[in-house]
């Protein structure tokens, strides 16, 4: 058996695995870093390795943009080739992407134990590809690093053996603890709303993009704040496909290219409000003390709803207007942080060491 393999492939995985990778570096523990290249443009990928001072991957699989089936199958076959002669002692995956699923399926097929970081999240919406990915990964993993007690309970309800589950907090809290002091705090914190939208349910259907346009119009109606919208390549492609880019520009929305981690952290930290359909951003907004409105009907981060940092509205414009207007008139920015003390990477490393994986 060879060393531990850490497999990642997207911007959120790079950010959320950074603290664990740095624990391996700090303790001079041998590991191999594999990048599927599910995210591959500089602004969505390599810039994050540079900013977070991470080692470059030992192997790049070159998966690129493709269908769910193609991405997953490419990862499986590439890992099979890569480890044909010397399999790792453990494979670590994170979250719920096609990279996660591909890594977990490969490991389960060849008998390599799997550690799943950010285990137990559930939206209970099987129409979301991410939900399928996370459920399958959880049920083939040997070590499940759950971020909260609630996610741990999700696993127990599904019959997962309690001995496999470790509640360690969420590594996104590590990233914010380490990096938020490196970005500026603006005096004019309330002069813009930050928007991010990329999920297929919101951008692949023309009628739903019209729903998003109505929500952006509501922001314009209710306040004078600027709207900053770092636009995901998928979203931009769909706006062009449906010939709706001019509609967004007519609202004077600042459509900007995807930005690096520090710039985006700064944008989140100083926003009046965040409007998103991202799971990770719901967590980050909660930890940073910035109210969040989520353009989804469900969330696998219900802790954010419970503490009062996040509101689910889907694409219901009247519901959005009600919540947004209430937040404009509220100064509440303090709630309990449910995602741990910011040392999750250290906790995971210590458990792996205790379990004898290195």
Mind telling me the catalytic residues? 198
Pair of tokens at residue 173: 């809290």
4-8 β-sheet, strand order: 59-60, 31-35, 4-8, 91-94, 114-117, 143-146, 165-167
- Note whether 308 and 330 are within 8 A (CB): no
88: left (phi over 0), alpha (psi -120 to 50) or beta: beta
Extract the tokens encoding 236: 């931009």
Task: Provide Rg for the chain, Cα atoms.
Answer: 20
Measured in degrees and rounded to the nearest 5, phi and psi for residue 117 equal -85, 135
Structure tokens at 174: 């590590």
Closest Cα to residue 120, out of 148, 84, 81? 148
C-alpha–C-alpha distance, residues 109 and 71, integer Å: 17
What are residue 196's DSSP bridge partners?
276
**What distance lies between CA 136 and its chain's CA centroid?**
18
Helix (H, G, I), strand (E, B) or coil at 94: strand
First to last CA, the chain: 11
């Amino acid at each position: 058996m060879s060393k531990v393999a850490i497999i990642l492939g997207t911007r959120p995985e790079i950010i959320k695995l950074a603290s664990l990778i740095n624990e391996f570096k700090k303790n001079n523990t041998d590991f191999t870093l594999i990048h599927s290249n599910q995210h591959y443009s500089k602004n969505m990928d390599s810039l994050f390795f540079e900013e977070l001072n991470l080692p470059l991957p030992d192997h790049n699989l070159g998966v690129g943009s493709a269908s769910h089936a193609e991405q997953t199958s490419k990862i499986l076959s590439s890992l099979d080739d890569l480890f044909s002669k010397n399999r790792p002692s453990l494979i670590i995956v994170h979250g719920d992407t096609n990279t996660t699923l591909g890594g977990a399926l490969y490991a389960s097929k060849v008998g390599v134990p799997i550690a799943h970081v950010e285990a137990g999240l559930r939206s209970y919406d099987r129409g979301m590809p991410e939900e399928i990915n996370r459920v399958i990964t959880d049920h083939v993993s040997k070590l499940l690093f759950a971020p909260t007690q609630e996610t741990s309970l999700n696993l127990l309800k599904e019959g997962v053996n309690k001995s496999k589950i470790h509640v360690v907090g969420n590594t996104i809290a590590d990233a914010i603890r380490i990096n938020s002091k490196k970005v500026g705090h603006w005096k004019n914190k309330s002069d813009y709303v930050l928007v991010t939208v990329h999920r297929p349910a919101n951008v692949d259907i023309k009628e739903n993009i019209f729903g998003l346009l109505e929500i952006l119009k509501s922001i314009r109606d209710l306040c004078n704040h600027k709207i900053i919208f770092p636009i995901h390549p998928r979203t931009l492609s769909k706006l062009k496909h449906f010939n709706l880019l001019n509609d967004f520009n007519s609202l004077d929305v600042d459509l900007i290219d995807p930005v690096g981690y520090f710039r985006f952290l700064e944008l989140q930290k100083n926003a009046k409000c965040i409007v998103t359909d991202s799971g990770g951003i719901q967590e980050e907004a909660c930890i940073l003390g910035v109210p969040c409105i989520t353009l989804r009907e469900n969330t696998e981060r219900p802790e954010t709803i419970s503490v009062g940092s996040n509101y689910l509205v889907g694409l219901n414009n009247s519901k959005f207007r009600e919540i947004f207007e209430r937040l404009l008139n509220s100064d509440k920015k303090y709630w309990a942080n449910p995602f741990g003390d910011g040392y999750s990477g250290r906790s995971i490393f210590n458990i792996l060491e205790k379990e004898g994986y290195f």
